[in-house]
Amino acid sequence: MTKPKQRVITQEIVLAKMTPGSRYRIHEIAKLVGSGVPTIRRALTDGLIRGSARRKIEGKRDLYWLAKADDFASDPATQRRLSQRTLQGYDEAHRRFRELCMVTRARQPGSPNRSSDSEPQD
């Protein structure tokens, strides 16, 4: 007697079973796919992170649906997450922090920062 081979439930499998425009509870999706709720929840979490699925909490239940291109344009959180702008001011802030560290650290005798070991310290 051999065990039936378990299949791996991925985000793609779960989303392929969902119909665009329909909203599902997690138990409904589990029945469609033929798997357990924890497995479906993991796959849907992956879909939510990648932006291919959406979730809305309605009462005690979560509703899931497939994301449309219009959802990305209207959701400010997604726009912030997808921003590819260049970081500004990073080099200047890093330089100031480095200078502050150098000023506050204790000088060591014979360090290259001093011209002579016999000079009095301030």
> Is 61 a member of any domain?
yes
Q: Considering only CA atoms, which of 91, 113, 116, 92 is closest in space to residue 102?
A: 113
In a domain? residue 41? yes
The domain spanning residue 91 has which CATH number?
A: 1.10.10.10
Structural domain tally of the chain? Answer: 1
Is residue 2 assigned to a domain?
no
Residue 119 inside a domain? The answer is no
Domain of residue 88 covers: 11-104
Those residues whose C-beta lies under 8 Å from the C-beta of residue 85, and which sit 6 or more positions away, are none
Model pLDDT, residue 28 = 93
Whether 94 maps to a domain, the answer reads yes
Q: Is residue 1 part of a domain?
A: no
| pLDDT for residue 27 is more than 90 | yes
Q: Give the whole-angstrom CA distance, residue 73 versus residue 13.
A: 26
Give the mean pLDDT of 53-59: 87
- The rounded distance, in Å, linking the Cα atoms of 114 and 112 is 5
Residue 5 has pLDDT above 80, yes or no: no
| Mean pLDDT to the nearest integer, 90-114 | 78
pTM: 0.52
